[in-house]
Structure 1
Amino acid sequence: MRPSLLGSFLAFWILLSLFTSKAFSQESGLNHRWKVIYVGKFQNPKSQKRMEALFFEFDQSSRAYFGSLGCNSVSGTFSLVGTDGILLKPNTSTLMTCPSMEVELDMQNALEKTRAYKIETGTLYLLDESGKTLMMLQKVD
C-alpha cells in the first residue's frame, strides 16, 4: 500500500511542478517593454503624431500595464488566470480626437477580447478565447 501512495504523491508533485514552472515562466516573461508588430489588419503600426512604433509595458509586481494606442494612451491592470489566461482591464485612457481611428479601434478591440497569451522566442501573442491571435508584440528590453 505504501509504494502506490508514494508513487501517487510523486506523480502529483511532478505534475504540480510542471504546471507551476510554466505559469511562473509565462508570468515573469510579461515583465518587459513590448513593441506592437501586429494588430487587426496592421503590421508595425505607428503613432499618428510622431510616426513612432507603438509600445506596451507590463509590470508583474503591480499587475499593471501601460501602452500607446496610436493617438491615445491606455493604462490598466491585468489578472492572470491559470497557466496562460489573462484579462486586461483598462482603467484610464486619454481621449484625444485623432485624424484616423483605425489603429486605435483595432488596439482597443484586441485589448477587450484578450483572454489568453503565450510567449515564444521573444514574441508575446495576445489571444482571444478561441486561441486566435489578436495582437503580436516583440520584446525590446
Structure 2
Amino acid sequence: MKKMLTMCLVMAGVAYFTACSNTSRSSGTNNEADLYKTWRLVEVNGETIDTTGIPKPLEFTFEQADSQFSGSAGCNRIFGKFTLTAPDNISFPGLAATRMACPDMSVEQKFLEASNKVNKWAIRQGMLVLSQNENALLRFKAK
C-alpha cells in the first residue's frame, strides 16, 4: 500500500513539473532565432489585408547579419536596420522605402505608418505580431 501511495505521489509530481515547464515555454517568451525568416503581412491595425490589386506581397525579411531587414510594402521596396533590445522590444530606425507610384497606395500607407510605430514583437501561434506597447499593429505569417 505504501509503495502504491509513493508511486502515485511521484507520478503526480512528475505530471505537475511537466505541466509547469510546458506552461512557461508557451507563455510568450520570444526566441530570437524564430524571427529570422520572411514574414508575409496578413493584418494591419486589426483589419485583414485584401491583396487584390497589390502588385507584390507585403512582407518583411529579417536577416541576423548586421540586423537588417528588407521586403515589400506592396508597391515599393522597404529596407533598413532593426534593433532588438530586451526579450520583446524592436524598432526600425531609419526605415526606408523606394518611391514608386502605384494606383492604390492605401494599404501600403497603412503598413508603413504602423511599421514606424512598432516597439514590441512576439511570435504567437506561429504568427509574428508587431505592436506598439500592447496594441497589435501588424500580424504576419511565415512565408
Which TM-score band applies after superposition, normalised by the shorter structure?
0.7 to 0.9
Deviating runs (4+, > 3 A) in structure 1? 47-50
Any idea what SS the aligned residue of 1:109 has? Answer: helix
Report the alpha carbon displacement of residue 48 of structure 1 after superposing the two structures with TM: 4.2
Note if contact 1:32-1:58 (Cα within 8 Å) is conserved in structure 2: yes
SS in 2 for 1:29: helix
After TM superposition, give the deviation of residue 77 of structure 1 in Å: 0.4
Q: Which moved more, 1:61-70 or 1:87-96?
A: 87-96
Which of 119, 124, 127 is the aligned partner of 1:120?
Answer: 124
The question of 1:57 aligning with 2:61 is answered: yes
- Structure 1, gaps ≥5 residues long: 1-17
Tell me whether 1:134 sits opposite 2:134 in the alignment: no
Structure 2: stretches of 5+ with no match in the other structure? 1-24
Partner Cα separation in structure 2 for residue 41 and residue 70 of structure 1: 18
Aligned partner (choices 82, 91, 102) of residue 98 of structure 1: 102
Aligned-pair CA distance for 1:90: 3.5
TM-score by length of 2: 0.72
Give the structure with higher Rg (CA): 2
Identity of aligned residues (%): 28
How many residue pairs get aligned? The number is: 116
TM-score (ref. length: structure 1) = 0.73
Contact 1:78 1:86 in 2 (8 A): yes
**Contact 1:76 1:92 survives alignment (8 Å):** yes
State how 1:1-141 maps to structure 2 within 5 Å. 22=29, 25=31, 27-40=32-45, 42-46=47-51, 48=53, 50=55, 52-129=56-133, 131-140=134-143
Contact preservation (8 Å) 2:46, 2:137 = no
The structural deviation recorded for 1:56 is: 1.4
The one-letter code matched in structure 1 to 2:138 is: M
Q: Distance in 2 between matches of 1:43 and 1:91?
A: 23
- Cα distance in 2 for residues equivalent to 1:57 and 1:90: 16
How far apart are residue 40 of structure 1 and its match? Answer: 3.3
- SS state of the match for residue 117, structure 1? strand
Instruction: State the 1:41 CA deviation.
Output: 6.1
Superposed CA offset, 1:18-72 (max 9, x none): 9xxx45x1x111101111111136423437453x532210012220111211111
Counterparts in 2 of 1:90 and 1:47: CA distance versus 1, 3 Å: farther
